[in-house]
Structure 1
Amino acid sequence: MQKKTIGLLFAGVVVAGVIGFALVNSGTKKDDSITIRSATAKKMDVTETLSTSGTLIPNKIENLVGTGTVNTLNVQIGDTVEKNQVLANYDNGLTLTARMKGTVTEVNIHTGQPDTAAQQGKASIVVSDLTNLKIQLALSNSEASQVTVNQKAVITSGRHQYAGQVTQKDPTATSPQTATGGATLGAVVTFTDKPKELYAGFSADVAISVATAKDALAIPIEALTYNEKNEPIVYEVKDNKAKIVKVETGIQSDQFIVIKKGITDGNSVILSPTSDLKDGSAVTKE
Structure 2
Amino acid sequence: MQKKTIGMLLAGIVIIGAVGFALFNGGSSKNETIAIRSATAKKMDVTETLSTTGTLIPNQTENLIGTGNVTELNVKVGDEVKKDQVLATYDSGLTLSAGMAGTVTEVNIKSGQSDTSAQQGKAAIVIADLANLKVQLALSNSEARQVNVDQKAVISSGGHDYNGKVTEKDPTATASQTATGGATLGAVVTFDDKPKELYAGFSADVTITIATEKDALAIPIEALTYNDKNEPIVYEVKDNKVHLIKVQTGIQSDQFIVIKDGLTNGASVVLSPASNLKDGSAVTKE
Q: 1:35 to 1:179 in 2, by over 3 A?
A: closer
Q: Report whether the alignment pairs 1:211 with 2:211.
A: yes
Alignment deviations for residues 197-235 of structure 1 (CA, whole Å, 9 cap, x no partner)? 211111111121122222111111111011122111111
Name the CA distance, whole Å, in 1 between partners of 2:128 and 2:200.
10
Q: Which residue of 2 aligns with 1:193?
A: 193
The Cα of 1:34 is off from its aligned counterpart by 2.5
The Cα of 1:117 is off from its aligned counterpart by 0.9
Q: Which residue of 2 aligns with 1:13?
A: none
Name the CA distance, whole Å, in 2 between partners of 1:240 and 1:109.
81
Name the CA distance, whole Å, in 1 between partners of 2:152 and 2:257.
20
1:69 is paired with a residue whose SS is strand
Q: How is 1:93-172 mapped onto 2 (pairs within 5 angstroms)? A: 93-172=93-172
Q: Which residue of 2 aligns with 1:48?
A: 48
Name the CA distance, whole Å, in 2 between partners of 1:70 and 1:232.
69
Alignment deviations for residues 67-107 of structure 1 (CA, whole Å, 9 cap, x no partner)? 11122222221111122222112222221111211111111
For 2:83, the aligned partner's letter is K
Alignment deviations for residues 135-165 of structure 1 (CA, whole Å, 9 cap, x no partner)? 1112222222222211111112243211111
2:143 is paired with a residue whose SS is helix
For 1:186, the aligned partner's letter is G
Q: 1:158 to 1:242 in 2, by over 3 A?
A: farther
For 1:75, the aligned partner's letter is V
For 2:163, the aligned partner's letter is A
Q: Which residue of 2 aligns with 1:267?
A: 267
Q: Which residue of 2 aligns with 1:231?
A: 231
2:281 is paired with a residue whose SS is coil
Q: 1:158 to 1:277 in 2, by over 3 A?
A: farther
2:93 is paired with a residue whose SS is coil
Alignment deviations for residues 154-193 of structure 1 (CA, whole Å, 9 cap, x no partner)? 1122432111111111222222457842222211111111
For 1:113, the aligned partner's letter is Q
The number of residues matched between the two structures is: 258
Name the CA distance, whole Å, in 2 between partners of 1:158 and 1:208.
18
For 1:226, the aligned partner's letter is Y
Q: TM-score, normalised by structure 2?
A: 0.85
Alignment deviations for residues 91-138 of structure 1 (CA, whole Å, 9 cap, x no partner)? 222211112111111111122211111111111111100111011112
For 1:206, the aligned partner's letter is V
2:68 is paired with a residue whose SS is coil
Name the CA distance, whole Å, in 2 between partners of 1:89 and 1:174.
37
Name the CA distance, whole Å, in 1 between partners of 2:253 and 2:247.
17
Q: Which residue of 1 aligns with 2:246?
A: 246
Structure 2 residues without counterparts, runs of 5 or longer? 1-27
The Cα of 1:284 is off from its aligned counterpart by 2.2
Name the CA distance, whole Å, in 2 between partners of 1:222 and 1:113.
68
For 2:117, the aligned partner's letter is A
1:142 is paired with a residue whose SS is helix
Name the CA distance, whole Å, in 2 between partners of 1:255 and 1:180.
31
The Cα of 1:40 is off from its aligned counterpart by 0.8
Q: Which residue of 2 aligns with 1:21?
A: none
Name the CA distance, whole Å, in 1 between partners of 2:162 and 2:91.
48
Once the two structures are overlaid, the 10-residue window that deviates more, 161-170 or 172-181, is: 172-181
1:263 is paired with a residue whose SS is coil
Q: After TM superposition, which residue ranges in structure 1, 4 or more long, deviate above 3 angstroms?
A: 29-32, 176-180
Name the CA distance, whole Å, in 1 between partners of 2:250 and 2:178.
37
For 1:238, the aligned partner's letter is K
- Calculate percent identity across the aligned residue pairs: 76
Q: 1:179 to 1:258 in 2, by over 3 A?
A: same
Q: Which residue of 2 aligns with 1:3?
A: none
Q: TM-score, normalised by structure 1?
A: 0.85
Name the CA distance, whole Å, in 2 between partners of 1:36 and 1:103.
63
Name the CA distance, whole Å, in 2 between partners of 1:197 and 1:178.
30
Q: Which residue of 2 aligns with 1:72?
A: 72
1:254 is paired with a residue whose SS is coil
Instruction: Answer yes or no: is the 8 Å Cα contact 2:158–2:198 preserved in 1.
Output: no
Structure 1 residues without counterparts, runs of 5 or longer? 1-28
Name the CA distance, whole Å, in 2 between partners of 1:71 and 1:63.
19
Across the aligned residues of Structure 1 and Structure 2, the Cα RMSD in angstroms comes to 1.9
